[in-house]
Structure 1
């Protein structure tokens, strides 16, 4: 996993189960504030006479909106039936933590995962992995303890240190030890919670498992550079000293910096770790991509 960053979590208007992040490894307030300003705080303008009515030619009819998905492309009920008596999403943390502890062990659970709001964390992070930012404060996993390390100092471009890859070894070993079949079955049992959380993000007629498959496909397309990757510190126009400069690194290559956040996470892990992570992603995809088309 990458270092903690300071990017803000993308709010609800636009937005897996233990296995999903284990295997990896994802504007409402603004609109409301803007609306409040417009209706309550804007300056009062003097009344003006209405403009004369002009009869314009009838505009052509707008094209009909794109049809909503009639059903999931990758049905989860093909994996396992959902639990018959799931708690409400807002009250699901204790039950989810209990099931995760049964699967992983309580020590590993505490060491690697964040169980408060686990379902919502997973859904938001999976969705964000396909976007520009995946804010660490929403991760369902604990960020790596050590700092991101590079081969140089100062503002000049440098390269990611080879030693940086060791920071991810413990998490990858943990992920590789998770039993895949029981983990995916648990995901399916809890799936209604994940689907509800996904709908809350602003996708009421879309399906979280379809989004998961799409993000897994995107992760598998991450570049695999042969040599060290150059990085540089993001410029900050402020006189306030930055006490955590290691979170400000970005790729020098603009094509790499423009990649989705999930692909950049894989690149920062180093080539060997990226290959291990992709092997896990590939195995997970075989199970959650339940449609015949998606399996190809």
Structure 2
């Protein structure tokens, strides 16, 4: 018998032997190992019965959602655009409004006693209008006048008596300057904008119904900002009870500018700084 025939006869038995071994191994695994595994799984995990699926009715709600979102956005935009309405008192009743809000304007509340709380808007309008034209309407001043009077230093010279500016006289204005410096400039401008209808009404009573009072206020502030501070203490003369400036350029100043001189150098510089800030904020509101 040739070798080829021998291999052909042995090959089928080898395959059969492998198949039988595989079947025996599968039977052992299924009935022994797999059975034990199933017992562990059964005790740990309860059997879950899948619910019967019912037909779901599909509803397209996308258009409604989009419409709802748009409506919400529109409402939010409308809400942000709406500003709270400002309810103003009448001009004759505006003093009550000021009396309530004035303490919130400054942290130096003890200095509010310097403010005249009678007919405040009209006082502010009349005094500012006169000041912008170079005159002083003391009867309409929004602040009480200082108790201390102006004084000068008397000096005897060979040429006679010489009167020198007394810088200590400027101290009588210190509380007024401190009050202005302590005020919230942002709130001041906000009040001005809110009360503008009443301010225009008071200005119209003076005979200027068509003019913008903001121009008057701007001119008054500019008058202060343009005021030059003398480098040296001015010399004075006293031909009568009243003092006069010996320098003719100072004596020729109008009453409003002379008041600024009497404030003193340090006080005037502070007032300039505060009014410059207020003027810039007013310009942004226009």
* Shorter-chain TM-score range: 0.5 to 0.7
Q: CA RMSD in A?
A: 2.8
Compare 201-210 and 159-168 and name the one that shifted more.
159-168
| 2:224 aligned partner | 219
- TM-fit CA distance, 1:109: 5.8
Answering whether residue 185 of structure 2 is matched by residue 191 of structure 1, we say no
- In proportion to residue count, which structure has more helix? 2
| Deviations 1:210-248, CA, capped at 9 Å, x for gaps | 11111111211112111112334475xxxxxxxxx5xx3
Compare 189-198 and 129-138 and name the one that shifted more.
129-138
Compare 113-122 and 94-103 and name the one that shifted more.
94-103
Distance 2:243 2:202 in 1: 32
Compare 110-119 and 167-176 and name the one that shifted more.
167-176
| 2:211 aligned partner | 206
TM-score, normalisation: structure 2: 0.62
| 1:159 aligned partner | 164
SS in structure 2 opposite 1:289?
helix
The residue correspondences of 1:46-61 to structure 2 (distance < 5 A) are: none
**Structure with bigger gyration radius:** 2
| 1:263 aligned partner | 257
Distance 2:120 2:98 in 1: 8
TM-score, normalisation: structure 1: 0.60
- Compared CA separation, residues 222 and 234, structure 1 to 2 (3 A): farther
Q: Runs of 5+ in structure 2 lacking a partner?
A: 1-82
- Compared CA separation, residues 159 and 143, structure 1 to 2 (3 A): same
SS in structure 2 opposite 1:172?
helix
SS in structure 1 opposite 2:236?
strand
Task: Count the aligned residue pairs.
Answer: 201
| Deviations 1:95-137, CA, capped at 9 Å, x for gaps | 1222213323794364220010111111111111123421322
Distance 2:93 2:86 in 1: 16
| Deviations 1:190-226, CA, capped at 9 Å, x for gaps | 1211111111112111111111111111211112111
SS in structure 2 opposite 1:152?
strand
Distance 1:95 1:286 in 2: 26
| 1:127 aligned partner | 129
| 2:66 aligned partner | none
